[in-house]
Amino acid sequence: MGDESVWYVTAFYRFFELSADTLPAEKSALLDYMNSHGVRGLVILAPEGINGTVAGSADAIQHFKTHITNRFAADIHFKDSISEKPPFRRTTVDLREEIVGLKRPDLVPEAPENSHLSPAEWHAMLESDQPKLLIDTRNRYETQVGKFRGAIDPDLGTFSDWQTYLRETQLPKDVPVMIYCTGGIRCEKAILEMHEQGFEKVYQLRDGILGYLAEYPEGYYDGECYVFDDRVTVGPDLKPTGNYGTCPGCGLTAGITESCIICDTKYFVCEGCQPKRPNVCSKPCLDQFQRHGPRRRVTA
């Protein structure tokens, strides 16, 4: 095995039909596999397919990919990145209604191919001067740390706001639209919603920002990419930057560093919460502060 201090991370999804009554058995089999092979992370199973991000040693991740493709589908795309620290504390397999939360379990891609652009095709289209609209389908706590140059940010609170945004937007429907997200999964549903609402030509970025950065680290993506684990963001080289954390006040992306007045730990807080809450890093330190005031160390 290679360097023990490096965690190999892979993100993947695939839409396919899983019968609801087999889901509990699939869940426990997958959980057993992950626990016995040193794979941590979160995998979601739903009647519409599988979605997950997992981490482990190089060997463990290699085996995991083989296991998943043998078990579920041969053409799953894996998007790899790395982390110096364990990006997940736990191993979880969740059963849900959808593998991505649009709150439209009825909208399921019918075929694996639906106007996908490879990173090279996407890059070329951005470079060309043909008329197009570029829209980010991610939430505001993601777009605020980075996005494609010139992209429209719909300022979504959650992905389920996408329908409302499309209904209310004044964007022309006869101009080609390019949509993208972190790893590609949200666009698989976002594109169906756009077709329903009359957008004539929509392209989606295969494998999302993570896939694009793997090929074009110095292309048209500016800033960092939010990821759904303890790394919070990765840079253009797909390595964690340590520039952002999770705000203890609201749970969203935070870029301001503070020192906890109770335990001295350095932590990140967001612009919105910083002026409104005491400088404490966590719930236990907040409790301590509320009971005893500042500068009283937790001694345990």
Using alpha carbons, list the distances in angstroms from residue 234 to 53, 145, 228, 239.
Answer: 14, 10, 10, 5
What residues line the site for Zn ion (CB under 5 A)? 247, 249-250, 260, 262-263, 265, 270, 273, 281, 285
Whether the Cβ atoms of residue 223 and residue 147 lie closer than 8 Å to each other: yes
Instruction: Give the E-state strand segments of the chain in sequence order.
Output: 7-15, 40-46, 49-56, 77-83, 91-95, 116-117, 133-136, 146-148, 177-180, 202-205, 221-223, 225-226, 233-234, 245-246, 253-254, 256-259, 266-269
Question: Token match 């504390």: residue?
Answer: 89
Show Cβ contacts of residue 168 under 8 Å, excluding neighbours closer than 6 positions: none
**Identity of the residue numbered 166:** L
> Rounded to 5 degrees, what are φ and ψ at 53?
-135, 130
Is 187 annotated as catalytic? no
Catalytic residue, from 181, 187, 225, 285: name it: 181
Show Cβ contacts of residue 8 under 8 Å, excluding neighbours closer than 6 positions: 55, 56, 57, 58, 60, 61, 80, 82
Whether the Cβ atoms of residue 217 and residue 240 lie closer than 8 Å to each other: no
> Rounded to 5 degrees, what are φ and ψ at 13?
-160, 160
Residues annotated as catalytic are 181
